[in-house]
Every structure is written in C-alpha cells, then in structure tokens.
C-alpha cells in the first residue's frame, strides 16, 4: 500500500467525507474499495505549527476510514474536527470504533458513510517538533512535552 494518489501532479492524501460522493475519482472507490488504516495516534499542527498527538485512551489501536485505488494507493477520509482536535485544527481523520469498522467495510456506501458519525473520545498531548521530520523515528516522537519549553 502507498500513501496518497497523485492526480494532476499533486499529492492527495485525504478526502473530505462531506464531498466524497461528488468527486468522480473518489465516488467510484467508495463503492468497492473501502479499507481501514490502523493506528495508535495521529498528529495535527496548530496555526503556529506546534504538533499535537491525538490518541484513543492510552494509545490503544483504532482505525481510520479510508479508500484505496487499484494501484493500492490509500486515501484517508477526513471530517470537520470535533473537540479536542478542533482546538488545534479544523479537520481530522474519520476515526472508527470496533462497531463502525465492520459497518464501514460491509454496508452499502451511503449507509457506511452514515455509520461514521460518532467518533471515539480522543486525548490530546503536545509533542516535540521532531515529528516534523519524516526521517525521525522512535518513542520520543509520541512523548508528551511541556509546551512552554518546547514551543
């Protein structure tokens, strides 16, 4: 699997759930090419470029709703942010709980889209700016930081 698609020379890694059926490229994939992207967290940046980690509980595994192309390119679905993400960024991935994972994969497209209305409760932690470089790896990338010292 590969992250994102590159139509028209630009990379697309997300699709808005609110308009996915209006986009020809995505509407076709929504019917038969839905998948789950497992994660223990995701990052968002505020307007001053400060990174935050969002997780369910104490880092438990959850899934994000996604679609994929025939070339195995994955696009994550996003939605308008809810608290606590909204305090940092206007959009967020469509996070699924165990029940909605099955519904996302098995129901007809319209019903699957409706099933992801409820979002699990997320926790927010400020993290260091090392997450800004894709070359960095390790547990320090998810370690909470004191915002006064790190920003």
Give residue 121's pLDDT: 87
**Are the C-beta atoms of residues 56 and 63 closer than 8 Å to each other?**
no
Q: What is the CATH number of domain 2-150?
A: 3.90.1680.10
- pLDDT by position in tens, the chain (length 151): 777 887 767 788 899 999 999 988 899 999 999 999 999 999 999 999 999 999 998 789 999 999 999 989 999 999 999 999 999 999 999 999 888 999 999 999 999 999 887 778 899 999 999 999 989 999 999 999 986 555 5
Give residue 1's pLDDT: 74
> What residue ranges do the domains of the chain occupy?
2-150
């Amino acid at each position: 699997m590969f992250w994102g698609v590159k139509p028209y020379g630009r990379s697309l890694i997300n699709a808005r759930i609110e308009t996915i059926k209006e986009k020809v490229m995505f509407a076709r994939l929504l019917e038969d090419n839905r998948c789950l992207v497992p994660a223990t967290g995701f990052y968002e940046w505020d307007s001053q470029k400060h990174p935050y980690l969002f997780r369910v509980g104490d880092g438990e595994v959850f899934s994000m709703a996604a679609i994929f192309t025939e070339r195995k390119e994955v696009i994550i679905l996003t939605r308008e942010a809810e608290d606590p993400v909204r305090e940092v960024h206007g959009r967020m991935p469509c996070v699924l709980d165990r029940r909605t994972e099955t519904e996302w994969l098995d129901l007809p497209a319209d019903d699957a889209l409706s099933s992801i209305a409820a979002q699990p409760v997320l926790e927010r932690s400020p993290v260091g700016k090392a997450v800004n470089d894709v070359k960095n790896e390790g547990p320090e990338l998810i370690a909470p930081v004191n915002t006064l010292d790190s920003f």
